[in-house]
Structure 1
Amino acid sequence: MSLTWLLLIGLLAGCASGSAQVDTVATLQRMGWLAGTWQRTDLPAGRSGYERWTRDRAGLSGVGLARQGAATTFEERLRIEARDGEVVYIAEVAHNLVPVVFRLTRIDDEGFVFENPAHDFPKVITYRREGDRLRVRVSAGEKASEFAFQRRR
Protein backbone atom coordinates (compact mmCIF):
# COMPACT_ATOMS: atom_id res chain seq x y z
CA MET A 1 0.00 0.00 0.00
CA SER A 2 1.36 3.38 -0.91
CA LEU A 3 2.17 6.12 1.57
CA THR A 4 -0.52 8.31 0.00
CA TRP A 5 -3.22 5.71 0.74
CA LEU A 6 -2.01 5.25 4.29
CA LEU A 7 -2.14 9.01 4.88
CA LEU A 8 -5.63 9.22 3.36
CA ILE A 9 -6.90 6.37 5.55
CA GLY A 10 -5.37 8.03 8.62
CA LEU A 11 -6.97 11.36 7.73
CA LEU A 12 -10.41 9.77 7.24
CA ALA A 13 -10.13 7.88 10.53
CA GLY A 14 -9.21 11.11 12.30
CA CYS A 15 -12.24 12.87 10.80
CA ALA A 16 -14.54 10.03 11.82
CA SER A 17 -13.33 10.05 15.42
CA GLY A 18 -13.56 13.85 15.49
CA SER A 19 -17.21 13.76 14.38
CA ALA A 20 -18.01 11.18 17.07
CA GLN A 21 -16.54 13.57 19.63
CA VAL A 22 -18.70 16.41 18.30
CA ASP A 23 -21.76 14.14 18.58
CA THR A 24 -21.09 13.35 22.25
CA VAL A 25 -20.57 17.03 23.05
CA ALA A 26 -23.84 17.94 21.29
CA THR A 27 -25.65 15.10 23.08
CA LEU A 28 -24.38 16.24 26.48
CA GLN A 29 -25.51 19.79 25.66
CA ARG A 30 -29.00 18.48 24.82
CA MET A 31 -29.13 16.95 28.30
CA GLY A 32 -28.30 20.28 29.96
CA TRP A 33 -31.95 20.83 30.93
CA LEU A 34 -31.40 18.27 33.71
CA ALA A 35 -29.15 20.70 35.64
CA GLY A 36 -30.80 21.92 38.83
CA THR A 37 -32.52 20.46 41.87
CA TRP A 38 -35.43 18.08 41.43
CA GLN A 39 -37.54 17.48 44.57
CA ARG A 40 -39.34 14.13 44.98
CA THR A 41 -43.11 14.56 45.02
CA ASP A 42 -44.28 10.98 45.49
CA LEU A 43 -43.07 10.20 49.01
CA PRO A 44 -45.19 9.65 52.14
CA ALA A 45 -45.22 12.18 54.99
CA GLY A 46 -41.93 12.30 56.92
CA ARG A 47 -39.86 11.27 53.90
CA SER A 48 -38.12 13.47 51.34
CA GLY A 49 -35.70 13.13 48.50
CA TYR A 50 -34.13 14.89 45.58
CA GLU A 51 -31.70 14.68 42.71
CA ARG A 52 -29.36 17.63 42.18
CA TRP A 53 -27.48 17.92 38.88
CA THR A 54 -24.76 20.41 37.94
CA ARG A 55 -22.96 20.95 34.67
CA ASP A 56 -19.21 20.67 34.56
CA ARG A 57 -16.56 20.49 31.85
CA ALA A 58 -16.98 16.74 31.42
CA GLY A 59 -20.81 16.64 31.37
CA LEU A 60 -23.20 16.50 34.32
CA SER A 61 -22.61 15.39 37.90
CA GLY A 62 -25.38 14.57 40.29
CA VAL A 63 -26.33 13.37 43.70
CA GLY A 64 -29.50 11.61 44.74
CA LEU A 65 -30.66 11.55 48.36
CA ALA A 66 -33.56 10.00 50.25
CA ARG A 67 -34.31 11.00 53.83
CA GLN A 68 -36.59 9.94 56.61
CA GLY A 69 -36.84 12.95 58.88
CA ALA A 70 -33.27 14.23 59.26
CA ALA A 71 -31.65 10.84 58.58
CA THR A 72 -30.27 10.04 55.12
CA THR A 73 -31.53 6.58 54.12
CA PHE A 74 -30.07 6.43 50.61
CA GLU A 75 -27.38 8.33 48.72
CA GLU A 76 -25.98 7.94 45.23
CA ARG A 77 -23.36 9.80 43.22
CA LEU A 78 -24.19 10.15 39.54
CA ARG A 79 -22.38 11.26 36.36
CA ILE A 80 -23.31 11.67 32.75
CA GLU A 81 -20.24 12.03 30.54
CA ALA A 82 -18.62 11.06 27.25
CA ARG A 83 -16.46 7.96 27.44
CA ASP A 84 -14.88 6.08 24.55
CA GLY A 85 -17.00 7.91 21.97
CA GLU A 86 -20.37 7.42 23.65
CA VAL A 87 -22.41 9.03 26.41
CA VAL A 88 -22.68 7.08 29.66
CA TYR A 89 -24.49 7.34 32.99
CA ILE A 90 -22.39 6.26 35.97
CA ALA A 91 -24.02 5.40 39.30
CA GLU A 92 -22.09 4.98 42.54
CA VAL A 93 -24.11 3.49 45.40
CA ALA A 94 -22.92 1.94 48.64
CA HIS A 95 -24.23 -1.58 47.90
CA ASN A 96 -22.21 -1.87 44.65
CA LEU A 97 -18.49 -2.53 44.94
CA VAL A 98 -17.71 -0.47 41.83
CA PRO A 99 -19.57 2.25 39.92
CA VAL A 100 -22.11 0.89 37.42
CA VAL A 101 -21.95 2.25 33.86
CA PHE A 102 -25.03 2.51 31.62
CA ARG A 103 -24.82 3.40 27.88
CA LEU A 104 -27.10 5.98 26.27
CA THR A 105 -29.48 4.15 23.93
CA ARG A 106 -32.13 6.81 23.17
CA ILE A 107 -32.50 10.57 23.40
CA ASP A 108 -35.14 13.07 22.32
CA ASP A 109 -36.24 16.53 23.46
CA GLU A 110 -38.22 15.12 26.42
CA GLY A 111 -35.70 12.68 27.82
CA PHE A 112 -33.23 9.89 27.46
CA VAL A 113 -32.65 6.21 28.20
CA PHE A 114 -29.51 4.49 29.49
CA GLU A 115 -29.05 0.71 29.54
CA ASN A 116 -26.75 -1.92 31.00
CA PRO A 117 -28.15 -5.39 30.22
CA ALA A 118 -25.43 -7.09 32.31
CA HIS A 119 -26.42 -5.33 35.56
CA ASP A 120 -28.84 -7.06 37.95
CA PHE A 121 -31.07 -4.06 38.77
CA PRO A 122 -31.68 -1.75 37.16
CA LYS A 123 -30.90 -2.63 33.58
CA VAL A 124 -32.66 0.45 32.17
CA ILE A 125 -32.79 4.03 33.52
CA THR A 126 -35.25 6.41 31.84
CA TYR A 127 -35.50 10.17 32.44
CA ARG A 128 -38.63 11.90 31.02
CA ARG A 129 -39.24 15.64 31.35
CA GLU A 130 -42.79 16.98 31.45
CA GLY A 131 -42.35 20.76 31.73
CA ASP A 132 -41.02 21.42 35.24
CA ARG A 133 -41.73 17.83 36.27
CA LEU A 134 -39.47 14.83 35.88
CA ARG A 135 -40.19 11.12 35.88
CA VAL A 136 -37.40 8.63 36.43
CA ARG A 137 -38.01 4.94 35.84
CA VAL A 138 -35.55 2.20 36.74
CA SER A 139 -36.37 -1.27 35.48
CA ALA A 140 -35.23 -4.78 34.69
CA GLY A 141 -37.82 -6.82 32.85
CA GLU A 142 -41.08 -6.87 34.82
CA LYS A 143 -39.52 -5.27 37.90
CA ALA A 144 -39.66 -1.47 37.86
CA SER A 145 -39.77 1.57 40.12
CA GLU A 146 -40.84 5.09 39.16
CA PHE A 147 -39.97 8.35 40.86
CA ALA A 148 -41.73 11.69 40.39
CA PHE A 149 -39.90 15.01 40.79
CA GLN A 150 -40.69 18.71 40.58
CA ARG A 151 -38.03 21.26 39.66
CA ARG A 152 -37.22 23.31 42.74
CA ARG A 153 -37.03 27.03 42.03
Structure 2
Amino acid sequence: MKKYLILLAFIFIVQLSANAQNKSIKQFNFMLGSWEMKTAKGKITETWLKYKDSLIGKSYRHNLKGDSVLTETLVIKKIDGNFYYCSKVSGQNDNQTIKFKLLPVKENTFIFENPSHDFPQRIVYQNKAKDELLAWVEGEKNGKKGKSEFNYLRRK
Protein backbone atom coordinates (compact mmCIF):
# COMPACT_ATOMS: atom_id res chain seq x y z
CA MET A 1 0.00 0.00 0.00
CA LYS A 2 2.83 2.40 0.91
CA LYS A 3 4.54 1.79 -2.46
CA TYR A 4 1.24 2.45 -4.23
CA LEU A 5 0.83 5.80 -2.43
CA ILE A 6 4.40 6.81 -3.23
CA LEU A 7 3.82 5.94 -6.89
CA LEU A 8 0.60 7.99 -6.96
CA ALA A 9 2.38 10.96 -5.33
CA PHE A 10 5.19 10.72 -7.88
CA ILE A 11 2.72 10.64 -10.80
CA PHE A 12 0.85 13.62 -9.33
CA ILE A 13 4.06 15.68 -9.03
CA VAL A 14 5.16 14.80 -12.56
CA GLN A 15 1.72 15.75 -13.88
CA LEU A 16 1.81 19.11 -12.08
CA SER A 17 5.20 19.86 -13.58
CA ALA A 18 4.02 18.82 -17.03
CA ASN A 19 0.92 21.01 -16.71
CA ALA A 20 3.08 24.04 -15.96
CA GLN A 21 5.07 23.40 -19.12
CA ASN A 22 2.13 22.47 -21.32
CA LYS A 23 0.32 25.78 -21.03
CA SER A 24 0.10 27.72 -24.23
CA ILE A 25 2.19 30.70 -25.21
CA LYS A 26 -0.74 32.81 -23.96
CA GLN A 27 0.63 32.58 -20.42
CA PHE A 28 3.25 35.13 -21.52
CA ASN A 29 0.78 37.64 -23.03
CA PHE A 30 1.42 40.03 -20.13
CA MET A 31 4.86 40.65 -21.67
CA LEU A 32 3.53 41.79 -25.04
CA GLY A 33 4.21 45.39 -25.99
CA SER A 34 6.98 47.88 -25.36
CA TRP A 35 8.63 48.40 -21.99
CA GLU A 36 11.03 51.07 -20.73
CA MET A 37 13.35 51.56 -17.77
CA LYS A 38 15.09 54.87 -17.24
CA THR A 39 18.73 54.80 -16.13
CA ALA A 40 21.35 57.42 -15.28
CA LYS A 41 22.85 56.89 -18.75
CA GLY A 42 19.55 56.94 -20.67
CA LYS A 43 17.10 54.08 -20.83
CA ILE A 44 16.66 50.42 -21.64
CA THR A 45 13.74 49.29 -23.75
CA GLU A 46 12.37 45.85 -24.41
CA THR A 47 9.67 45.05 -26.97
CA TRP A 48 7.75 41.77 -27.28
CA LEU A 49 5.52 40.65 -30.16
CA LYS A 50 3.59 37.45 -30.71
CA TYR A 51 4.68 35.47 -33.75
CA LYS A 52 2.90 32.18 -34.44
CA ASP A 53 3.38 30.04 -31.32
CA SER A 54 6.24 32.14 -29.95
CA LEU A 55 7.04 35.53 -28.50
CA ILE A 56 9.89 37.46 -30.07
CA GLY A 57 11.63 40.32 -28.36
CA LYS A 58 14.39 42.86 -28.74
CA SER A 59 16.22 44.84 -26.10
CA TYR A 60 17.97 48.17 -26.72
CA ARG A 61 20.12 50.57 -24.71
CA HIS A 62 19.50 54.26 -25.46
CA ASN A 63 21.94 56.96 -24.40
CA LEU A 64 20.89 60.42 -23.25
CA LYS A 65 21.26 61.75 -26.81
CA GLY A 66 18.72 59.20 -28.04
CA ASP A 67 21.15 56.94 -29.88
CA SER A 68 20.29 53.27 -29.47
CA VAL A 69 22.13 49.95 -29.69
CA LEU A 70 20.50 46.54 -30.04
CA THR A 71 21.76 44.52 -27.08
CA GLU A 72 19.73 41.33 -27.28
CA THR A 73 17.31 39.40 -29.47
CA LEU A 74 14.91 37.10 -27.66
CA VAL A 75 12.45 34.31 -28.33
CA ILE A 76 10.15 32.42 -25.97
CA LYS A 77 9.07 29.17 -27.58
CA LYS A 78 8.20 25.58 -26.87
CA ILE A 79 10.88 23.01 -27.63
CA ASP A 80 10.17 19.32 -27.03
CA GLY A 81 7.19 20.14 -24.80
CA ASN A 82 8.96 22.71 -22.62
CA PHE A 83 9.09 26.50 -22.89
CA TYR A 84 12.48 28.14 -23.33
CA TYR A 85 13.74 31.71 -23.20
CA CYS A 86 16.25 31.92 -26.03
CA SER A 87 18.67 34.84 -25.85
CA LYS A 88 21.25 36.07 -28.31
CA VAL A 89 23.34 38.85 -26.77
CA SER A 90 25.37 41.05 -29.12
CA GLY A 91 29.07 40.31 -28.75
CA GLN A 92 28.70 37.47 -26.23
CA ASN A 93 28.70 33.66 -26.35
CA ASP A 94 30.26 33.69 -29.84
CA ASN A 95 26.95 35.23 -30.99
CA GLN A 96 25.22 31.92 -30.24
CA THR A 97 21.70 31.70 -28.81
CA ILE A 98 21.57 30.52 -25.19
CA LYS A 99 18.48 28.64 -23.99
CA PHE A 100 16.95 28.89 -20.52
CA LYS A 101 14.25 26.36 -19.56
CA LEU A 102 11.05 27.50 -17.86
CA LEU A 103 10.65 26.19 -14.31
CA PRO A 104 7.20 25.67 -12.75
CA VAL A 105 5.40 29.04 -12.58
CA LYS A 106 4.62 30.48 -9.15
CA GLU A 107 2.64 33.64 -8.32
CA ASN A 108 2.97 35.32 -11.74
CA THR A 109 6.73 34.74 -11.67
CA PHE A 110 8.33 33.03 -14.67
CA ILE A 111 11.81 31.67 -13.98
CA PHE A 112 13.94 30.45 -16.86
CA GLU A 113 17.08 28.56 -15.89
CA ASN A 114 20.30 27.33 -17.46
CA PRO A 115 22.64 26.14 -14.67
CA SER A 116 25.51 25.56 -17.12
CA HIS A 117 25.60 29.15 -18.41
CA ASP A 118 28.34 31.39 -17.01
CA PHE A 119 26.09 34.32 -16.05
CA PRO A 120 23.24 34.63 -15.61
CA GLN A 121 21.92 31.20 -14.74
CA ARG A 122 18.37 32.50 -14.22
CA ILE A 123 16.25 35.03 -16.08
CA VAL A 124 13.03 36.00 -14.36
CA TYR A 125 9.94 37.93 -15.45
CA GLN A 126 7.26 38.92 -12.98
CA ASN A 127 3.86 40.25 -13.95
CA LYS A 128 3.49 43.13 -11.46
CA ALA A 129 0.54 45.03 -12.93
CA LYS A 130 -0.97 45.96 -16.28
CA ASP A 131 1.71 48.57 -16.92
CA GLU A 132 4.54 47.24 -14.72
CA LEU A 133 6.94 44.43 -15.44
CA LEU A 134 9.79 43.38 -13.20
CA ALA A 135 12.60 41.36 -14.74
CA TRP A 136 15.90 40.29 -13.32
CA VAL A 137 18.91 38.16 -14.10
CA GLU A 138 20.79 36.32 -11.38
CA GLY A 139 23.40 33.70 -10.74
CA GLU A 140 27.02 33.19 -9.87
CA LYS A 141 30.17 34.16 -11.69
CA ASN A 142 33.65 33.47 -10.37
CA GLY A 143 32.13 32.32 -7.06
CA LYS A 144 30.22 35.57 -6.50
CA LYS A 145 26.44 35.88 -6.58
CA GLY A 146 25.02 38.65 -8.71
CA LYS A 147 21.64 40.08 -9.61
CA SER A 148 20.49 42.89 -11.87
CA GLU A 149 16.89 44.15 -11.81
CA PHE A 150 14.93 45.81 -14.57
CA ASN A 151 11.84 47.70 -13.40
CA TYR A 152 9.97 48.29 -16.63
CA LEU A 153 6.99 50.51 -17.25
CA ARG A 154 4.81 50.07 -20.31
CA ARG A 155 5.64 52.60 -23.02
CA LYS A 156 2.65 54.68 -24.08
| TM > 0.5 fold call | yes
Question: So what's the TM-score if we normalise by structure 1?
Answer: 0.77
Secondary structure of 1:30 counterpart: helix
Distance 1:67 1:126, change over 3 A: same
Q: Distance in 2 between matches of 1:71 and 1:55?
A: 26
Could you say which residue in structure 1 is the equivalent of 2:75?
79
Moved more, 97-106 or 23-32: 23-32
Counterparts of 1:1-153 in structure 2 under 5 Å? 26-41=23-38, 43-44=39-40, 46-68=41-63, 69-94=65-90, 95-97=92-94, 98-108=96-106, 110-131=108-129, 132-141=131-140, 142-153=145-156
**Pairwise CA distance, 1:23:** 6.8
Unaligned stretches of 5+ in structure 2?
A: 1-17
Unaligned stretches of 5+ in structure 1?
A: 1-19
Q: State which structure, 1 or 2, has the greater radius of gyration over its C-alpha atoms.
A: 1
Could you say which residue in structure 2 is the equivalent of 1:7?
none
Aligned Cα root-mean-square deviation (Å):
1.9
Secondary structure of 1:64 counterpart: strand
Question: So what's the TM-score if we normalise by structure 2?
Answer: 0.76
1:92-111 deviation line (CA, Å, top 9, x unaligned):
11222210000001324523
Q: Name the amino acid aligned to 1:117.
A: P
Conserved in 2, the CA contact under 8 Å of 1:89 and 1:101? Answer: yes
1:102-128 deviation line (CA, Å, top 9, x unaligned):
000132452300000000011000111
